[in-house]
Amino acid sequence: MKTDDSLKKYFEEKNVTGTFGLYDNGSGQFTIYNLSRFKDSAYLPASTFKIVNTLIGLETGKIVNEQMVIPWDGVVRVFPGGDTAKSWNKDLTMEQAFKASAVPYYQEVARRIGRENMQHWLDTLNYGSKKITTKIDTFWLDNSLKITPDEEMGLVKKLYFGQLPFQKRSQDIVKKVMLQEDNANYKLSYKSGWGFRENGNALGWIVGWIEENRHPYFFVLNVEGAHDLNLGTLRLDILKAILKQNGFLEGKR
């Protein structure tokens, strides 16, 4: 494992603190910025929990497949920055809801799964703190459930190789909907997250993997900043800057 403090500049440029981890599955090389935050600090998973919520939904039959529609309930919602959540305020398939990170869709999925079933799977997965101390449809958003960046890394690595305790079909569907960019140079698969810590700070995630020459590299980005910080594109800007510094995205590997 090597620590890379040169990555600090990408966080400072955006006025955030955070951590980043990259794992080269072929060589076993771990590159980490801010090791103590990566391994020892736990945070609300926010919408990165959609990975697990989807897996449990598929496994329990509450989500039939990625085309399953949950009708919009008619409530107009807004994003944390205040903009109307147009991508949420309509009927959505599971795939659309995953890509748009639509909270209402997945709150309904969680209600259908139920507390007892959800707790069983959190325990089975040993997912973070495994705690549902608040409501079944908010516990991943309100600091009840927490997970370390290191644990997020372990989850996406096992998902990629089909090693989680779910049917292959469930894992394959989630891997498919996580694919965000696919071109001649690389395939980039991830799930983002955006929430708020108890201290009011904005917290952002991007967890997933990049494949170049059919070889996977797993990553976790965790950022934290002022409450009113717009994390929308900021997270992806930092991720891509770090990946480029490490020789990704431009067909050089």
Q: Identify residue 10 by its one-letter amino acid code.
A: Y
**Residue indicated by tokens 């952002």:** 204
Helix (H) or strand (E) holding 150: helix 149-160
**Catalytic residue among 27, 47, 170, 192, which?**
47
Hey, what amino acid is at 156? V
Name which of 97, 121, 123, 122 is nearest 109 in CA terms: 97
156 neighbors 171 (Cβ within 8 angstroms): no
CB atoms within 10 A of CB 46: 24
With vertex at residue 170, the alpha carbon angle to CA 166 and CA 176, rounded to the nearest 5 degrees, is 135
Characterize the bridge pairing of strands 179-182 and 215-225. unpaired
For residue 76 the two structure tokens come to 């107009």
Q: Are 67 and 95 in contact, with CB atoms under 8 Å apart? A: yes
Q: Is 47 a catalytic residue?
A: yes
Which DSSP symbol is given to 206? E
Give catalytic residue positions. Answer: 47
